[in-house]
Structure 1
Amino acid sequence: MPLFNDQPVDVANEVFLRSNLTQRSPPSVGKRTRSEALSPTNVSPSSCKRVQLSDSPGLDDNSTAPDQTQYDLVNEAASYLTKINVVINSLGSRIDVKNRSTVMDMTQRVTAIVSLLALKSSSTETKLAIAQRDLLEAKINKNCSQNNVIGNVSKPTYAESLKLKMPKVAPAAAAMETRTPLPCVVAYPTSERSAEFGSSSATKQALMKAINPTDDGFQIVGLKKTANAGVVLRVTNENQIKKLQSVAGIKSAGLRLEKPKGRRPRILVKDVPATLEDAAFMSALYRQNIKDEMSISEDNFIKSTKIVRRRVLNNGRKWIGLELEPEIRKHLINTKEKIFIDWATCRFNDDVEIVRCMKCQQYGHVAKFCTEKSSCCGYCAEAHDTKDCIKNTAKDFKPVCAACKRFKKPNDHLSGSPDCPSYKAKLEQLILNTVYG
């Protein structure tokens, strides 16, 4: 017998349409601060406070006063849960309509109390984030003033700039810690023996034979396949990298180690006229926005900048994704509100795109390059095409995320959800691996 008044999941909104996903971007610096970029929700604590507590189901004016402490709220919620357990244990399967109504009323009261706790916690997080921001700003100002005295002005680090530019109205973004990625090295086949290694799997097997973590004391966090039959080894510290480079068995196995160069940053330029050719777009981007402001020639700019994707819209405009040098990206982000392309004024922002395979529902590749033999449903994570799912129309349907199910994470959400833990992990990894300069 269900204890909660379950409502059918609204599947009318197609989660696989890119336009329905929250636009993601790494933390921006300079003028282009975007409060919605890294916040998991667009609802701020200030907007939550406008909700009437009496509107919550099962919560009357006398049950939970707004001035109660969080400790009192937790105790009250615990008391309702105790009553629920007593009712269920005493009645068992003999729950009639009246008792079922009583149970539902108590569960709704607990839900309202938890909502109020979340509201109080969100307000506290906002105050804490603002305090941390102010302390950091005061610390940087103090350091700058001391350095000015001795004539040595030091700029804030990129991580400090991120924290200073975080909006105060988004506690999730403002309180976010900027992590440093773990050091890593990439193993590739040597040019003399490259014919022996046809794939990253072969490189991985040779690498695992050449290295004995137990005997050599290696702390390898993970292995990941990459292009050109390479394998990325992520370790705990830089000393581990030096130890790996001194292992003679790696060279004798026909492998070489290289430090990864990192992913170049990308920006997405919007509102570009659809009739504009790529060559004309690149020339306009350089001559109208970079030529008189940076010491780089047009030939070098065009050689170092790559168009990685395009999206043509129905309104005579298109979006163009660019991969460019960190210095150029930083100049545009810090000095431009919009980019001028011919007669058009174009919006732009950092471009972080996490692709998802519509066949196996995993992140990092598209269906065209999927190696799985069978399809996986984006609704229930079972072995059939998403369009053929019949479970998603049932009243008691509960979604299952295929990516999170595979990695044993909480999976009670649809594949492709912006709040998916697997998606957030991939997004964070992509940002950490990008060299923003």
Structure 2
Amino acid sequence: MSANVLTVPGIQSCKSICMSNCSRCKKKMEAMSSAMKTMRDKRAQTPPTPGRNLERELAEAHKKLTNPKPSYAEAAAKSPTPQPNHTLIVSSKDKTHTGEHVLQIIREAIDTKKSGAKVERVRKARNQKVILKCSTKEDMEAIQNKMRSRKEIKVEAAKAANPPAHHERDINLKEVTIRVRYRKRARNQLQCHPVLELSPSVHKRFLEAGKLYIDLQKVAVYDQSPLVQCAKCLGFGHTKAVCGEKTATCSYCADKTHEWEKCPRRKQNEEPKCKNCWENGIKTEANHEAFSNKCKVRQKWDEIARSRIAYC
């Protein structure tokens, strides 16, 4: 014979309740039954509050405390913030043209160097189409007007939202100095990272902008240290072309028997070792490559190099 077990706090258990069915147990059971019947009757008479569920409210409160981030459904239910979409769709009327042909026609029509038109992003699409995205409505309209003279292409404006605020400040062109010092190689063989020498006012403006419009793309701008570090001996103040060392030093493990490309420690993902920190007695903080900005020796030489530059 099975029985459901109910635990009621505050009432002592009686061992004879199931064995002898004593009078004391009968009285306790009757009292409990009467109390539970009163509770059921009271609950039935009290109408539930519309729209409220105590268990659900407790569950939601617990969820907010344990997981404050909204779920995917909650995030999707919110109305999205409108974003600017100043986009032009350019296609060729000649079916033999490819996306590259359309792109060349766009370059000739816009001539960003003379017109000053700014294209934030460009990509090729299907059916000989090229998508041009601009940061402002004014740039989009200026580019659209310039390409209307080319009859071999078709220009359509995509649905656009409200443009963001756009502000330009004047620069004294007499004080502007922009000179290409050298070009750094990129992973893509068709690209490079030019390093420019700028006058103080232009240098400040470039860093404040963070992005520049060049040709049909928007590129990032970073501050380049004037410090020169040798790629052969890993020393400072000279280049590899005038280095007096006979053998190169690995910039990853400071070994002179191989270079970075063939470093076994690097290929096995072992901890690097900075040659300059190790030789200057900073062995406990030498767990980085020689060209790393974390290097204490490099930071010291960088400060010396920057002290000779007029940043303002």
TM-score computed with the length of structure 1 as normaliser: 0.28
Higher relative contact order (CA 8 A, sep 6+): 1
Instruction: Compare the two structures and name the one with the higher helix fraction.
Output: 1
| Larger Rg belongs to | 2
TM-score when normalising by structure 2: 0.37
